[in-house]
A and B are shown apart, each in its own frame.
Chain A
Amino acid sequence: MYIKKYMIKPFCTLYFQLKGIHLFAVIPILGLYLILPISHYIAYHFYQNMDMLYMNIINECQYLCPILSVWWIFFVLEHYVEEDGHELLYIGRRNKVVSLILLYILFLLLMIPLFVVYTSFFSDLWWLYAKLIIIQWLYMTILYCGSFLIGKINIPVIITLLYTICAIMGAGGISYYQPIVSSGIEFVQEMRGFLLAGILLMATGCICNHFFPEHNR
């Protein structure tokens, strides 16, 4: 009974939620297994240089993966906070964070085959994967906290897009798109701020989620 309620039910819920968004559900998979490999192939083909391929993997993964990782989360959150009659989903179990964490983990799992291939060429790219775990966590918590705080999904989405653009352009001191780190200490030093911010946003999001249907009336 416990397993059914806390394990099978959330997966079944997610299955229908993703099926409900129809063709949009395949975008993250296309991004990971089509757009990224094509981009790497073009980079290698153009420069015929492994260093350029290495840089292309680091850059493209950091541009694309965080945004792709919150693609499903965006639709599920939209269903939870904006859809007509969404209050129906808050009778009984209120907290929706389990669904979002499952989607976050699902995307990380989907990234693994890609990184198995990457690391067969460049072994230190596991650090990139570790880095993306933290960055994608931050993206998820921005969307979660923002959407339950204001009851709208569009503003948190704009924030994540702006953040991505700033990060790509190196504006505002946001500098996570850096060459790869190569030691645990370096990794912790670079990523601890993002992890902490994610934890704070998650805690705030959980509080807003708990009071959600009334807070958003």
Chain B
Amino acid sequence: MEIKHLSKKFGKKQVLTDINYTFSNGVYGILGPNGAGKTTLMRCILNLYRYQEGSVTFSTEEGDIRSQDKIGYLPQKNGIFSGLTVEEQLMYFANLKNMDKSLWEAEITRVLQLVNLEEVRKKKGRKLSGGMVRRVGIAQALLNHPALVIFDEPTTGLDPEERIRFKNILRYLQHETIVLMSTHIVEDVEAVCDHVLVLKDGQLAAAGTQEEISRYADGKVYEIGQEEYVEGDYIEKEKEIEGKGIYRILTNRPLEGRAPETANIEDGYLCILKNI
């Protein structure tokens, strides 16, 4: 999938500016603060929003398949028919994806196993918990072996065990599918994404592997005592060691005699956002 010079405005407000990126199979994390344009970018890719400039081309061996059939999408919130069973909900989406009816049974079993919902297959929507509804949403996105899967804040509402399971699903998908996952939870990206895109004010501020993003913070991460803090340092974390307050900071100022800490992806992400 290739995005070229993608720009999007809502009225006079520029929401996305000149986005360029080429995706191949793998898991891509889209990081950015609220309002950075993550959801807009994903909806432009899905053709739900029209963009003023640029192009999104999505080609497989079967040609351009940006139709519902081979795309999986999990919106930020997903509803459910209260009167349908889990199995019927998935049949509904299998039908929308133009799947052959003879394949429904096996495919629904496969996705229900992936999201660990087989036991509630015959349970009505109104009897499901919030986390289960979210997992039904993930299951519908995985129907029909999609070539592109887009998850918008997928781990919202999942308990820790289910988050781990979800991350395993992404690992399983990464070789055969392009997976885009928008989130502001950096640990989720750290755990599963091969590549990271950082959006800031509608622009692609940085893109690369986790190591490449972490490198933005190389030599800028320190742990200092509270008394050493000066204005302009960005406090990332606070902790207490033997009654003494310690800050983990991001800074550009030289700290003589101090060795910087090893930077992680969160440090890199924050350096990009805060222009450190």
- A interface vs B, CB < 8 Å? 4-5, 9, 12-13, 16-17, 19-23, 79, 83-93, 213-214, 217
Contact = CB atoms under 8 A, between A and B. Distances in A.
B48 A13 contact: no
A91 B84 contact: no
A83 B96 contact: no
Interface string B117-159: 0000000010000000000010010000000000000000000
Nearest to B67: A92
B75 A85 contact: yes
B83 A87 contact: no
A84 B78 contact: yes
Given A12-B95, A91-B68, A92-B67, A19 B77 contact: no
Contact of A16 (B48, B71, B81): B81
B114 to A, nearest CB: 18
A92 B82 contact: no
A90 B78 contact: no
Contact of A87 (B43, B69, B81, B96): B43
B84 A5 contact: no
16 contacts: A4-B98, A16-B84, A16-B92, A16-B95, A20-B84, A20-B88, A85-B78, A88-B140, A89-B96, A90-B48, A91-B48, A91-B73, A92-B68, A92-B71, A213-B49, A214-B43
A88 B93 CA distance: 10
A88 B75 contact: yes
B79 interface: yes
A148 B19 CA distance: 30
B48 A9 contact: no
A86, A88, A90, A92 — which one has the most chain B CB atoms within 10 A of its CB?
A88
Contacts of B270: none
Interface residues of B, number: 31
B82 A91 contact: no
A124 B71 CA distance: 54
Nearest to A89: B96
B73 A13 contact: no
B98 A20 contact: no
A20 B77 contact: no
Interface string B44-60: 00111110000000000
B75 A87 contact: yes
B91 interface: yes
Interface string B174-207: 0000000000000000000000000000000000
Contacts of A86: 79
Contacts of B81: 16-17, 19-21, 79
A22 B81 CA distance: 9
A86 B75 CA distance: 8
Contacts of A87: 43, 48, 75
Contacts of A79: 79, 81
Which 7 A/B pairs are nearest by Cβ-Cβ distance? Answer: A20-B81, A22-B83, A92-B68, A85-B75, A84-B79, A84-B77, A85-B78
Given A5-B98, A9-B95, A214-B49, A88 B82 contact: no
Given A85-B78, A86-B79, A16 B91 contact: yes
B75 A84 contact: yes
Nearest to A16: B92
A12 B100 CA distance: 12
B71 A91 contact: yes
B82 A22 contact: yes
B68 A13 contact: no
Nearest to A93: B68
Contacts of A19: 81, 83-84, 88
A85 B79 contact: yes
Contacts of B47: 91
Interface in B187-239: none
A20 B81 CA distance: 5
Contacts of A12: 95
B68 A85 contact: no
Nearest to A214: B49
A165 B48 CA distance: 38
A88 B73 CA distance: 7
B83 A20 contact: yes
Nearest to B101: A12
Given A16-B81, A84-B78, 18 more contacts: A4-B98, A9-B98, A17-B81, A19-B88, A20-B81, A22-B82, A23-B83, A84-B75, A85-B79, A87-B43, A87-B75, A88-B75, A91-B68, A92-B67, A92-B68, A92-B71, A214-B48, A217-B49
A213 B48 contact: yes
